[in-house]
Chains A and B, each alone.
Chain A
Amino acid sequence: MSAPPSAVPVEEQIAQWRGYLRQRRAINGADVEELEGHLRDQIAMLTTAGLAGDEAFLVAVKRMGSLDSLSREFARAHSERLWKQLVVADDESPDAAVPFLRLETIVVLGLAVAAALAVKAPELFGVHLLDSNGKLLPFYQRNASFFVTPMLVLYFAWKRGMSAAAASLAIPFAIAAVFANVYPFAARSSTQNLTSLHLPIALWFIVGGAYAGRRWLTGDGRMNFVRFSGELFIYYVLIALGGAVLTGFTVMMFDAIGVRVDEFVGSWLVPCGAAGAVIIASWLVEAKQSVIENMAPVLTRVFTPLFTIILLVFLGAMAWTGHAIDIKREVLISFDLLLVLVVGLVLYAVSAREPQARPDLFDVLQLLLVTSALAVDVLALAAIGGRINEFGFTPNRVAALGENIILLVNLLGAGWLYLRFVRSRVPFAALERWQTGYLPVYSAWAAVVVIVFPPLFRFI
């Protein structure tokens, strides 16, 4: 006779049970292994006693107790796990996951160093970071994203174990590198500035592809990447603050003994640190994502009401005083930034919301925020439209206008869906789909600015 027909399903069932166990925060890798060992001993005993494999599995799982109560008991015995376990290697557990974590530490440090050195690599060919006046060279501005994003893609490709797909991710980088460097930009060209600003946005989409893998095509995968990006930003700011303190002390202490380190700080410490920190921050976000409450949604909760109030008061003040928006050079950009901020608030509120929950006060507040932002922006757009009519198109104005329209459309859609959601006409998932489906638009526009704008405006 061949092997009993139930042999394979039991392995699968055990694997599935292990998967459920792993999702519990209070139960770590070593515990899972210990519990699995127990389960297998029990199954072996029961099969010897005459039970079929799947029956033995059922009995053994039943005796093990429900996952909920088990996880509660583990949480009680290890209350710290829910709070710290911030990574690096929790030394108390001879965990099966630790060797992987160590390997990951090495890979991450390697990539961070690679990113840091990539910043200095052009110097080998005589291209220096700063010109003789201490200003950042345009070459570095245009190529800044290439020092970091490829390493990030490599990290995620390695972590998600996709080697063949990662190779195809190199293609967009190659194309982007060509467009960033072949155009004959004029000196102090504004299309060159636009390229520097928009290239990272376009490339960030590729990073998302590496982050989410095949799930990049699904709303879920994209929403996870949105969450990741928000946390990354917060971590990066924190690391940057620490870095600023470190830099300050370095300069001060060496200054005290009469050694000038400005050169080292300006051309090594700051640029290399800034590049390496992106990799480190990404790794930290990855490592702690399931352990601590995410920060971005918390900040969203705090600032949504505040921004709503400011916008409403602003609208009120405009109506009260009758002052129109005064069009200066920077106004268009600042209203773009306002929209970016509001879209960000909406996006992170969406990312953190329990989709099944019923509409509550916070959703009404979101709707109010979106509506008031739309009103403010329409007023600004009307004012700006007149100016463009009068003075003609420049690359900066067209780029800013395009962005404004893209964000406006997003907010219109979000506002409309929020209204319908608050009145219980559509499920919240519709809002999520709208936001995740809209993400490619940003990157596509950024790519247009990088690829089409310079020739369109003759590289000025």
Chain B
Amino acid sequence: MDVGKDLVAASATPLVLAILAEGDSYGYAIIKRVSELSGGHLQWTDGMLYPVLHRLERQGLVAAKWGKSETGRRRKYYRITREGRAQLAAQRQRWKVVDETLHAIWMKTSPA
């Protein structure tokens, strides 16, 4: 199933923040986690994650630090900040509204 570009873009911020709320992580692992969580339905173009991460970093929602990978290469790790957690809570509220609304109408028209 293809979710579509717009939805992927819209859900990117809460998804990344939520994954980072589970614990510090880095780009490749975040992509893998997204794929796991969505059962492979939510496919990101890998490279697109990084501009998103950088924008969140600039907005102060996440913080980045260079560390080392298992193989000794430099790797950039991201961690969610306090503002990030607040933003995540707000986003969660909004998505809940959307989700509940859609759910309500779908229950009426064609009960799953």
Chains A and B come from one and the same complex? yes
Chain A interface residues toward B at CB < 8 A? 30-31, 33-35, 37-38, 40-42, 63-65, 69-70, 73-74, 76-78, 94, 96
Measured in the bound complex, the distance between the Cα atoms of B58 and A73 in whole Å is: 15
Q: Tell me whether B48 and A65 are in contact (CB under 8 A).
A: yes
Identify which of B69-77, B80-88, B92-100 touches chain A: B69-77
Q: Tell me whether B50 and A65 are in contact (CB under 8 A).
A: no
Please list the 10 inter-chain residue pairs (A to B) with the smallest Cβ-Cβ separation, ordered nearest first. Answer: A65-B45, A77-B51, A73-B51, A41-B28, A65-B47, A70-B47, A64-B47, A77-B55, A63-B46, A64-B46
Q: Tell me whether B28 and A42 are in contact (CB under 8 A).
A: yes
Chain B interface residues toward A at CB < 8 A? 26-28, 31, 45-48, 50-52, 54-55, 58, 66, 69, 71, 73-76
List chain A residues, Cβ under 8 A from B55.
Answer: 77
Q: Tell me whether A94 and B50 are in contact (CB under 8 A).
A: no
Q: Tell me whether B51 and A76 are in contact (CB under 8 A).
A: yes
In whole Å, how far is B41's beta carbon from the nearest beta carbon of chain A?
A: 16
List chain A residues, Cβ under 8 A from B47.
Answer: 35, 38, 64-65, 69-70, 73
List 20 additional A-B contacts (Cβ < 8 Å) besides A37-B28, A74-B50: A31-B54, A33-B74, A34-B50, A37-B74, A37-B75, A37-B76, A38-B27, A38-B28, A42-B28, A42-B46, A64-B46, A64-B47, A65-B45, A70-B45, A70-B48, A74-B51, A77-B51, A77-B54, A77-B55, A78-B54
Measured in the bound complex, the distance between the Cα atoms of B66 and A188 in whole Å is: 65
Measured in the bound complex, the distance between the Cα atoms of B76 and A37 in whole Å is: 9
Q: Tell me whether B73 and A37 are in contact (CB under 8 A).
A: yes
List chain B residues, Cβ under 8 A from A42.
Answer: 28, 46
A-B contact pairs, 24 of them (CB 8 A): A30-B76, A31-B50, A31-B54, A34-B50, A34-B75, A34-B76, A35-B50, A37-B28, A37-B73, A37-B75, A38-B28, A38-B47, A38-B50, A40-B73, A64-B45, A65-B46, A69-B45, A70-B47, A70-B48, A74-B51, A76-B51, A77-B51, A94-B66, A96-B74
List chain B residues, Cβ under 8 A from A77.
Answer: 51-52, 54-55, 58
List chain B residues, Cβ under 8 A from A37.
Answer: 26-28, 69, 73-76
Q: Tell me whether B73 and A73 are in contact (CB under 8 A).
A: no
Residue of A nearest to B76 (CB): A34
List chain A residues, Cβ under 8 A from B50.
Answer: 31, 34-35, 38, 74
Measured in the bound complex, the distance between the Cα atoms of B11 and A280 in whole Å is: 48
Q: Tell me whether A73 and B48 are in contact (CB under 8 A).
A: yes
List chain B residues, Cβ under 8 A from A94.
Answer: 66
Measured in the bound complex, the distance between the Cα atoms of B107 and A443 in whole Å is: 84
Measured in the bound complex, the distance between the Cα atoms of B65 and A402 in whole Å is: 63
Q: Tell me whether A38 and B66 are in contact (CB under 8 A).
A: no
Measured in the bound complex, the distance between the Cα atoms of B52 and A94 in whole Å is: 18
List chain A residues, Cβ under 8 A from B26.
Answer: 37
Measured in the bound complex, the distance between the Cα atoms of B26 and A33 in whole Å is: 13
Measured in the bound complex, the distance between the Cα atoms of B73 and A37 in whole Å is: 7
Among A31, A42, A77, A94, max chain B CB count under 10 A is at A77
Measured in the bound complex, the distance between the Cα atoms of B27 and A70 in whole Å is: 15
List chain A residues, Cβ under 8 A from B58.
Answer: 77
List chain B residues, Cβ under 8 A from A33.
Answer: 74
Measured in the bound complex, the distance between the Cα atoms of B107 and A383 in whole Å is: 98
Measured in the bound complex, the distance between the Cα atoms of B53 and A73 in whole Å is: 11
Residue of A nearest to B66 (CB): A94
In whole Å, how far is B78's beta carbon from the nearest beta carbon of chain A?
A: 10
In whole Å, how far is B61's beta carbon from the nearest beta carbon of chain A?
A: 13
Residue of B nearest to A21 (CB): B47
List chain B residues, Cβ under 8 A from A40.
Answer: 71, 73
Among B45, B52, B69, B73, max chain A CB count under 10 A is at B45
List chain A residues, Cβ under 8 A from B66.
Answer: 94
In whole Å, how far is B100's beta carbon from the nearest beta carbon of chain A?
A: 31
List chain B residues, Cβ under 8 A from A73.
Answer: 47-48, 51
In whole Å, how far is B38's beta carbon from the nearest beta carbon of chain A?
A: 15
In whole Å, how far is A274's beta carbon from the nearest beta carbon of chain B?
A: 41
Measured in the bound complex, the distance between the Cα atoms of B67 and A34 in whole Å is: 11
Measured in the bound complex, the distance between the Cα atoms of B71 and A77 in whole Å is: 29
List chain A residues, Cβ under 8 A from B51.
Answer: 73-74, 76-78
In whole Å, how far is B68's beta carbon from the nearest beta carbon of chain A?
A: 11
Residue of B nearest to A39 (CB): B46
Q: Which single member of A31, A41, A63 contacts B45 (CB below 8 Å)?
A: A63
In whole Å, how far is A100's beta carbon from the nearest beta carbon of chain B?
A: 15
List chain A residues, Cβ under 8 A from B28.
Answer: 37-38, 41-42
In whole Å, how far is B64's beta carbon from the nearest beta carbon of chain A?
A: 9
Among A38, A65, A74, A78, max chain B CB count under 10 A is at A38
List chain B residues, Cβ under 8 A from A74.
Answer: 50-51, 54
Among B27, B31, B47, max chain A CB count under 10 A is at B47
Residue of A nearest to B55 (CB): A77
Knowing A73-B51, A76-B51, say if A34 contacts B45 (CB, 8 Å).
Answer: no
